[in-house]
Amino acid sequence: MRKSTVLLVLLSVAAGLADDATERIRVNQIGFYPQGPKSAVVIDPVSSVFSVISETDGSAVYTGTLGPASVWNHSQENAAIADFSGLEAVGVFRVRVEGIGDSWPFEIKSFVHESVAAAALKSYYYQRASMPLDEAWAGKWRRAAGHPDTSVWVHASAATETRPEKTVIRSPKGWYDAGDYNKYIVNSGITMWTLLAVFEHFPEYAAAFRTDIPESGNGLPDLLDEILWNLRWMLTMQDPDDGGVYHKCTNANFDGFVMPNQARTQRYVVQKSVTATLDFAAVMAQAARVLEAFDAALPGLADSCLFAAEDAWMWAADHPNLLYNQTAMNTAFNPDINTGAYGDGNAADEFDWAAAEMYLTTGEAGYLAAADPFGTPDIRVPSWPNVATLGILSMLMQTDRLTRPGLDDGVLLTLFLSFCDGLVRSRDLSAYGVVMGTGSNDFVWGSNAVAANQALCLLVAHKLTGEADYFDAALSNLDYCLGRNATGYSFVTGHGDKTPMRIHHRQSGSDGIADPVPGFLAGGPNPSQQDRNDGAVYTSNLAAKSYSDMQASYASNENCINWNAPLVYILFGIEALMSETGLPSEARGVASRRIAPLSFRIEGNWPNPFNSSTRISYSLDGPANVRLTVCDAAGRTARTLESGMKLQGRHEIRFNASDLPSGVYFIRLQAGGRSTASRMLVLK
Ligand code: 9MR
């Protein structure tokens, strides 16, 4: 809460008033960019005018006319839009409608969503298993380490000859999935894609952003450090003997509301599944691409990820029908496992996604022959059981990697843009002026992530076309998440004035601290209300109002890593696109750690070639001198090639390696003395 608001709340309480703002004006409680679109929604308007009031001196700085009122079906409210995009002054303001009251306060300024972006990313740090959260980084939410996960049992459902039941394995690190303390590969899949996509789509911004985590300052971007915490856990979930990936690392049953270090029941890895294995393959292939640029700091990790992806892909190809079915598993094996299932009856979209990522990373068209995401492109808002679109988005954003003829002919782009045009239309027809609510099925368990993922698609459309309307439509859904919705909540804990206080999160519910751990996106309105018989109480059954800020409401008020990830994506993307330099503010950015955007790949017959003429192609987003070094496995330089001039864009270096002895070599590309990407090359 801002100081001014604290004062107002105190005054209101002293005056016996219940609240600080009217429930009938809904607005993004964080704020707006001086040059960006700005609007609020007024319910049952009694007059046609509104004003915007300065919080500092109470003066009206803007007056406007409300748009025509119409009914938003999802909430059955009569809503009119107050558009004050013309107000460009910086400050703290409220929207006022005579006879109705004042909205919650919000700010107009540059970098207005930067703090909430930092919090949304920092929420992953608070979810870390296997390490203590020290006060220096966690503040009052400090806690002891939970779940070392160093003696996890292989569950009967996952037993093999080499790893029989109760074999002890290590599976430390990773993020807790949600309010519960279990770690699920399927949900890590979409989460990791989304965070890695922030890196791939907004590389400079992501590399410069500081979140204050223990690794800050270690020479790697904070976003990457956070991603690595979960990546390293995911790697432990692959059976080294066959490449298959366990579905989850879990307790038999959900814990009570206790702190992580008090939750000590036996952990298991359970049945390998085709969906988990393919999600793993997709993430590892994508990670291999991103990590290439950091090979100096993380030697060999990119290649390890690619090998892991290849092994996983092969296992999936051998077990295409091995779906995860918890009920069937519990009938066949003991003990019963009753935590989240992430069961999915169809692995076709997981094949499509993994094929796309494997193809993009390796350039091998064989992956597309096995599962063609272009065969019948299934473009829809991504979610954990529907991941084909993730591969399509990767393809669209990396056309320079599309080497198979026909892939970059624009058909996919046309299809994707027509899907996004549908999202824009939904906003145009919406009484709330938001994309969210394209149909009643937007309001599912985790509906706020539907809003965030719609916005993610729209930001990709904006990046691909430069069209402002896609950006504005994306922003409308960020406004939705931060307060312009039928509940009036800013759904991110700790950000806004009316915000979830009793989120279904075991630490927040048991740490004795009134404020919930900050930065979580609550699941959001969900008319199925699956928690109704478990103590959750709802005041409305309407789709957009089926939300309850109660700890018992796991179906509307839980946090989850796959919901926060698109929030991080849209906050980072919107901030990056609104920043004049494309970078975070001085306070958030770390200029010295800025990594020059550089993509680099080896073409030709890698990875196991004979090379009399090896071709290496690379591309540079900014002008830089380029130096290419070939080192042998012992690190001795075997060849150095320098550009001798600044280059930009796509280039190719050919070199004759026939005089080099057989063996393993590493190729390192340096640009402008700042960036390094390296890749392994085997010469025979
Ligand atoms: O997000 C999941 C939702 O789509 C499912 O309908 C629901 C019931 O199976 O489970 C949700 O995922 C939960 C997971 O199973 C366990 N950790 C918390 C997740 C969010 O509620």
- pLDDT one-digit tens code per residue, 51-64: 999 999 999 999 99
For residue 62, the CA-to-ligand 1 centroid distance in Å is 44
C-beta 349 within 6 A of ligand 1: no
What gap in Å lies between CA 187 and CA 384, rounded to an integer?
Answer: 6
Q: What is the pLDDT of residues 545-587, one digit of tens each?
A: 999 999 999 999 999 999 999 999 999 999 999 999 899 998 8
- Residue 443 pLDDT more than 70? yes
Q: Which of 180, 225, 226, 303 is catalytic?
A: 180
Confidence of residue 3 (pLDDT cuts 50, 70, 90): very low
- Return the ligand 1 atom nearest residue 562 CA: 1
Calpha distance 430→644 (Å, rounded) = 57
> What mean pLDDT do residues 642-660 have?
74
Q: Is 558 an annotated catalytic residue?
A: yes
Active-site residue, selected from the candidate residues 239, 511, 558, 575: 558
How far away, in angstroms, is 480 Cα from ligand 1 center? 22
With a cut of 80, say whether residue 10 has pLDDT above it.
no
Pocket lining: 445 vs ligand 1, CB cutoff 6 Å = yes
Query: How many other C-beta atoms can be found within 10 angstroms of the C-beta atom of residue 568?
Result: 28
Q: b vs e for 447-470, b when ≥16 Cβ sit within 10 Å of the residue's Cβ?
A: bbbbbbbbbbbbbbbbbbeeeebb
Which atom from ligand 1 is nearest to the alpha carbon of 554? 21
* Angle formed by the axes of helices 561-578 and 185-201, nearest 10°: 10
State how far Cα 269 lies from the chain centre.
Answer: 25
Mean pLDDT value of segment 211-215: 95
Give per-residue pLDDT as tens, 406-435: 555 678 889 999 999 999 999 999 999 999
* Ligand 1 midpoint to CA 222 (Å): 28
Q: Residue 99, Cβ neighbours under 10 Å: how many?
A: 8
Q: Is the pLDDT of residue 19 over 80?
A: no
Q: CA separation (Å) from 100 to 3, 22, 30, 113?
A: 24, 7, 21, 28
Ligand 1 centroid to 340 CA: how many Å?
Answer: 6
pLDDT at 612: 59
Q: Is 524 in the pocket of ligand 1 (CB under 6 A)?
A: no
CATH class, domain 598-683, is mainly beta
Q: Where in the chain is the domain with CATH 2.60.40.10?
A: 3-108
Residue 675 has pLDDT above 60, yes or no: no
Which fold would CATH assign to domain 3-108?
Immunoglobulin-like (2.60.40)
pLDDT of 375 strictly over 90: no
The answer, yes or no, to whether any atom of ligand 1 lies below 6 A from the CB of 491, is no
- Among candidate residues 504, 505, 511, 575, the one labeled active-site is 504
- Residue 175: predicted pLDDT: 99
Tell how far the Cα of 400 is from the centroid of ligand 1, in angstroms: 37
Task: Using the predicted structure, report yes or no on whether residue 474 has a pLDDT greater than 90.
Answer: yes
Q: Quote the pLDDT of residue 677.
A: 46
Closest ligand 1 atom to 341 CA: 15
Q: Is the CB of 176 under 6 A from ligand 1?
A: no
504 CA closest ligand 1 atom index: 21
Mean pLDDT of 208-231: 95
Place of tokens 């430069």: 466
Work out the number of other CB atoms within 10 angstroms of the CB of residue 236.
Answer: 19
The finding on whether 558 has its CB within 6 A of some atom of ligand 1 is yes
pLDDT at residue 672 greater than cutoff 70 = no
**pLDDT for the residue 7:** 45
Looking at the chain, the domain(s) classified CATH 1.50.10.10 span: 114-490+560-574
Q: Ligand 1 centre from 342 Cα, in Å?
A: 7
Q: Which atom of ligand 1 is nearest to the CA of 177?
A: 17
In percent, the amount of the chain with pLDDT more than 70 equals: 87
Least confident of 8-22, 52-66, 203-217: 8-22
pLDDT given for residue 645 in this prediction: 76
Percent of the chain topping pLDDT 90: 77
- Residue 225 Cβ < 6 Å to ligand 1: no
Nearest-10 Cα torsion for 142, 147, 150, 153: -170
CA distance 390 to 536: 34
Structure tokens at 517: 């751990």
Active-site residue 155, yes or no? no
Q: Which of 327, 560, 562, 564 to mutate to test the pocket of ligand 1 (most atoms within 8 A of CB)?
A: 560
Residue 88 annotated among the catalytic residues of the structure: no
| More confident of the two residues 609 and 367 | 367
Mutate to test the pocket of ligand 1, among 247, 445, 558 (most ligand atoms within 8 A of CB): 445
pLDDT tens string 503-519:
999 999 999 999 999 99
Q: What is the pLDDT of residues 150-190, one digit of tens each?
A: 999 999 999 999 999 999 999 999 999 999 999 999 999 99
* Cβ-proximal residues to 248 (8 Å cutoff; 6+ apart), any chain: 182, 183, 184, 185, 186, 269, 270, 276, 339, 340, 342
C-beta 630 within 6 A of ligand 1: no
> What does the alpha-carbon distance between residue 275 and residue 262 come to, in Å, rounded to a whole number?
31
pLDDT per residue over 253-308, tens digit each?
999 999 999 999 999 999 999 999 999 999 999 999 999 989 999 999 999 999 99
Question: What pLDDT band is residue 597 in, cutting at 50, 70 and 90?
Answer: very low
The pLDDT of residue 668: 67
How confident is the prediction for the chain on average, in pLDDT? 90
Class of domain 114-490+560-574 (CATH, top level): mainly alpha
Question: Which ligand 1 atom sits closest to the C-alpha of 383?
Answer: 4
Pocket test for ligand 1, best of 337, 338, 342 (most atoms within 8 A of CB): 342
> Going by DSSP bridges, is the β-strand pair 637-655/614-632 parallel, antiparallel, or unpaired?
antiparallel
Ligand 1 close to Cβ of residue 292 (< 6 A): no
User: What does the pLDDT read at residue 596?
Assistant: 42
First to last CA, the chain: 64
Closest-CA residue, ligand 1 atom 13, reads 340
Whole-structure pTM value: 0.86
Which atom number of ligand 1 is nearest to the Cα of residue 343? 9
- Say which of 239, 292, 479, 549 is annotated catalytic: 549
Tell me whether residue 472 is one of the annotated catalytic residues: no
pLDDT of residue 611: 57
For the beta carbon of residue 626, count every other beta carbon within 10 angstroms: 22
In the chain, CATH 2.60.40.2550 sits at: 598-683
Work out the angle at residue 318's Cα, subtended by the Cα atoms of residues 317 and 322, and round it to the nearest 5 degrees: 95
* Cβ burial 648-665 (10 Å sphere, 16+ → b, else e): eeeeeeebebeebeeeeb
